[in-house]
Amino acid sequence: MKVFIAGIDGYLGWPLAQYLTARGHEVVGADLLLRREWVAEVGSDSAIPVYSMDERLQAFRQRYGKELVFRKGDFLDYAFVRDFFADFQPDAIVNLGQMPSAPYSMIDQQHAVFTQHNNVIGNLNILWAMKEVCPEAHLVKLGTMGEYGTPNIDIPEGFFEIEYRGRKDVLPFPRQAGSFYHWSKVHDSNNTMFACRIWGLRATDIMQGVVFGTRVDDESDDPRLHTRLDFDQCFGTAINRFCCQAVIDHPLTVYGTGGQTRGFLPLRDSMQCLTLAVENPPKHGEYRVFNQFEECYSVRELAQVVYEVCREMGIHADVLHYDNPRMEKQEHYYNPDRKHLIDLGYQPTHDVRAELRIMLRDLLPHKTRIAQFREILVPDIRWDGTQRRSQVIEAEVAK
Amino acid sequence: MKVFIAGIDGYLGWPLAQYLTARGHEVVGADLLLRREWVAEVGSDSAIPVYSMDERLQAFRQRYGKELVFRKGDFLDYAFVRDFFADFQPDAIVNLGQMPSAPYSMIDQQHAVFTQHNNVIGNLNILWAMKEVCPEAHLVKLGTMGEYGTPNIDIPEGFFEIEYRGRKDVLPFPRQAGSFYHWSKVHDSNNTMFACRIWGLRATDIMQGVVFGTRVDDESDDPRLHTRLDFDQCFGTAINRFCCQAVIDHPLTVYGTGGQTRGFLPLRDSMQCLTLAVENPPKHGEYRVFNQFEECYSVRELAQVVYEVCREMGIHADVLHYDNPRMEKQEHYYNPDRKHLIDLGYQPTHDVRAELRIMLRDLLPHKTRIAQFREILVPDIRWDGTQRRSQVIEAEVAK
């Protein structure tokens, strides 16, 4: 299949390009390389060195024996999107080309506006370009499990049948996102659902859990082909951040009680799931939603597992609790479905400890690199709009 | 109270400024005067002459014996919004400053992007400015009943308690909007709900039905104080459009079967309801939703009523059905609640026929003015993205 990846320079986009190519798909991609700038802006860098796009493309050519067509450009530039789609005529478009951080969107007015503008208009341009030049293509759009928030009922996959005052209907499941970033993804989901309805486009909307890990299956040893790994308060998600903290003997930063429960999945599972979506398109006019995660864990449990795996590997790790800079429920019911991907053949990895060992081994050589950013590992972007570094609220060496 | 009106030059904003002033409130407002340009862009003009803002402000001064502070500016310009709020320190902010047309948002990619950018970022700027300089203020934000679409169950006011798989929660009622414009209002509702939750702001989100009419209570005879009235396919909503069509002996343009049922309310009721919201603010941190309409009617029924009132007044009117340029259910269940405003004292006008007689009397002197636009009264903006003028599908002289 011909697959267009928006955001091909990112944490998911770069390994996905390789994963799909290895399976025989023809991949092209676009990116404005902004992720590199955002991480620098918040005072950090990827733990795994990221090579220039030219170097990445050269390594790609050497490994796969063909060119990866890449264009640098902005999804806010409609002509850029439309012309690229028109030239390539993709069968599938994977939209990873967005600003993906909740805290970054909460820094201030400018960052909130940038996030919603960038994500909503970029996705809207993709929808219009599909309608105009490749209406048969399948959009695989990355949403987030964070769109749902933490309702006190089970979370179905996008839609649910309900009875209300004696009448029934199948309706979109209500969204209760927790940041201006997460809301931008809800806005995108809504616009995408609507475009499928009125134009007969087809889309898979992936409500993805938190991804962790450094590796995908059959990855090359060429460092130019490796993906980035962030650990700062904005772009470093729970497990990745914990592992980077552990290798430099910084306490693992659990926010609040750590009772926040989320779906998680290793990077290799994300590749497997996105590929299942790409290779099994919905029918025309269908908008389907996949909840994409391997297992649900509380942040507290994850810190404990990282602590234990570190101990086995002789790495010293403390777990500390910090006052939560976010506004979110810290203890709550959480029971999302994830049947659709299983039905398509998703085989979850399950062995989180094995994945953590690989990650920690990959990160240890970059200890000095990570240690440069020791001072920024405790969060200071707060949901109330102030900037104050969190304090330790309850020191607890995990057992 | 000190009331800031965003969009003070509009159909609702201009009479609301007067209505609130007459009740003793101190009103200021801002507008970029874009509505005037949009209507011109789609080849039309207001049926009721609209005076320049200078002339409007002069008439206001003469009638009310005081200045109306007005600043021309863009809600996309954050500094403009923040500085105005900081200077005025409003008790209430009424956000009417948006692009309000579904067909306009469906013209093409540019119009869809303009609509969502303008409405979403403008409202986001208002939320941030409130947080930064007037967090005690009350936001009265105009949404639309169109956010809900036409579900097969009753429509509560914003939230509902549901049981799902044996567990209960109170959740936002799912939205199923019908145009990129309507979705922009959903996005705004979501951002506003979130801002109340994290910052303790307070807001009333008005899911307003379709407004019609030329007059508010106690209106001056000074034509500079009258509000606009649009009748083109973009800005002319059902009843207003029908009345303008009738006075120039153009068939009333019913789309499809006309079974589309919506909530409607006269302009004077809209003023009454918005004022009730302003004068009865929610508590801090509360996000409440009001469904605001007087009665539900199908478009077919409304055309029939307009036909009958016209006949009583000696005006000849035909009702014709045109193939529907929109994608929407034409026959459907529709039963929204509207308890919150009634509880606050809303007294619905009920006498639609009396309102229509007033409107038609107001419009008859402008017959020649309206007749200039005879050629654009049949819609050609289609939801499938093409531009083709609708055809008569079933001629029916209403009885």
B31 belongs to a structural domain: yes
Q: Which band of pLDDT confidence, cut at 50, 70 and 90, is reported for residue B395?
A: low
Closest CA to A351 of A276, A295, A272, A290: A295
ipTM of the complex: 0.97
Q: Which band of pLDDT confidence, cut at 50, 70 and 90, is reported for residue B397?
A: very low
A116 contacts on B by Cβ (under 8 Å)? 120-121, 124, 191
B196 φ/ψ angles, rounded to the nearest 5 degrees: -65, -40
B31 φ/ψ angles, rounded to the nearest 5 degrees: -165, 150
Query: Could you give the CA distance from residue A220 to residue A14 in angstroms, rounded to a whole number?
Result: 13
**What pLDDT digit, counting tens, does each position of A22-56 carry?**
999 999 999 999 999 999 999 999 999 999 999 99
B313 φ/ψ angles, rounded to the nearest 5 degrees: -95, 5
pLDDT for the residue numbered A394: 74
Q: Which band of pLDDT confidence, cut at 50, 70 and 90, is reported for residue B217?
A: confident
Q: Kindly state the average pLDDT of the residues A71-78.
A: 98
A203 belongs to a structural domain: yes
**What pLDDT digit, counting tens, does each position of A295-350 carry?**
999 999 999 999 999 999 999 999 999 999 999 999 999 999 999 999 999 999 88
Q: What tokens does B235 get? A: 């800005």
Query: Could you give the CA distance from residue A34 to residue A7 in angstroms, rounded to a whole number?
Result: 9
Q: Which band of pLDDT confidence, cut at 50, 70 and 90, is reported for residue B399?
A: very low
**What pLDDT digit, counting tens, does each position of B227-275 carry?**
999 999 999 999 999 999 999 999 999 999 999 999 999 999 999 999 9
Among candidates B109, B169, B186 on the partner chain, residue whose Cβ is nearest the Cβ of A190? B186
CB B265 within 8 A of CB B293: yes
pLDDT for the residue numbered A395: 52
Grouping H, G, I as helix, E, B as strand and the rest as coil, residue A48 is coil
Please give the distance of CA B133 from its chain centroid, rounded to a whole number: 28
Closest CA to B221 of B36, B29, B18, B28: B18
Q: Provide the mean pLDDT of chain B.
A: 96
Query: Could you give the CA distance from residue A309 to residue A306 in angstroms, rounded to a whole number?
Result: 5
Interfacial B residues in 212-251 facing A (CB < 8 Å)? none
Q: What is the chain B residue with the closest CA to A151?
A: B169
Interfacial B residues in 266-285 facing A (CB < 8 Å)? none
For chain B, the distance separating the N- and C-terminal CA atoms, rounded to the nearest angstrom, is 49
Cβ-based neighbours of B136, under 8 Å, separated by 6 or more: B91, B284
The DSSP output letter for B366 is G
Among candidates A121, A167, A385 on the partner chain, residue whose Cβ is nearest the Cβ of B199? A385
Among candidates A125, A154, A167 on the partner chain, residue whose Cβ is nearest the Cβ of B152? A167
Percent of chain B clearing pLDDT 70 (strictly above): 99
Q: Which band of pLDDT confidence, cut at 50, 70 and 90, is reported for residue A88?
A: very high
Check pLDDT > 80 for residue B36. Answer: yes
Check pLDDT > 50 for residue A398. Answer: no
Check pLDDT > 50 for residue A399. Answer: no
Cβ-based neighbours of A54, under 8 Å, separated by 6 or more: none
Cβ-based neighbours of B17, under 8 Å, separated by 6 or more: B5, B8, B27, B29, B60, B68
Q: Kindly state the average pLDDT of the residues B372-399.
A: 85
**Comparison of pLDDT for A397 and B219, the residue scoring more:** B219
A195 belongs to a structural domain: yes
β pairing state of A261-266 and A167-172: unpaired
A255 belongs to a structural domain: no
A315 belongs to a structural domain: no
Q: Which of B19, B104, B181, B287 is catalytic?
A: B181
Burial (CB count within 10 angstroms: exposed 0-12, middle 13-18, buried 19+), residue B54: exposed
A64 belongs to a structural domain: yes
Residue numbers of the domain that contains B202: 2-218+264-293
CA distances (Å), origin B285, targets A378, B85, B132: 28, 19, 15
CB B128 within 8 A of CB B172: no
> Residues in chain A, how many?
399
Examine the residue annotation and report whether B181 is marked as an active-site residue of this protein: yes
**Hey, what amino acid is at B254?**
V
**What pLDDT digit, counting tens, does each position of A157-170 carry?**
999 999 999 999 99
B316 belongs to a structural domain: no
Check pLDDT > 80 for residue A396. Answer: no
B153 contacts on A by Cβ (under 8 Å)? 162-165, 167-169, 171
Query: Could you give the CA distance from residue B30 to residue B73 in angstroms, rounded to a whole number?
Result: 6
Q: Number of structural domains, chain B?
A: 1
User: Do B191 and A172 count as a contact with CB atoms less than 8 A apart?
Assistant: no
Closest CA to B139 of B181, B189, B213: B189
Q: Kindly state the average pLDDT of the residues A374-378.
A: 96
Q: Which of A141, A185, A227, A237 is catalytic?
A: A185
CATH number of the domain within which B141 lies = 3.40.50.720
A253 belongs to a structural domain: no
**What pLDDT digit, counting tens, does each position of A191-213 carry?**
999 999 999 999 999 999 999 99
CB B345 within 8 A of CB B277: no
Examine the residue annotation and report whether A185 is marked as an active-site residue of this protein: yes
Examine the residue annotation and report whether A21 is marked as an active-site residue of this protein: no
pLDDT for the residue numbered A219: 84
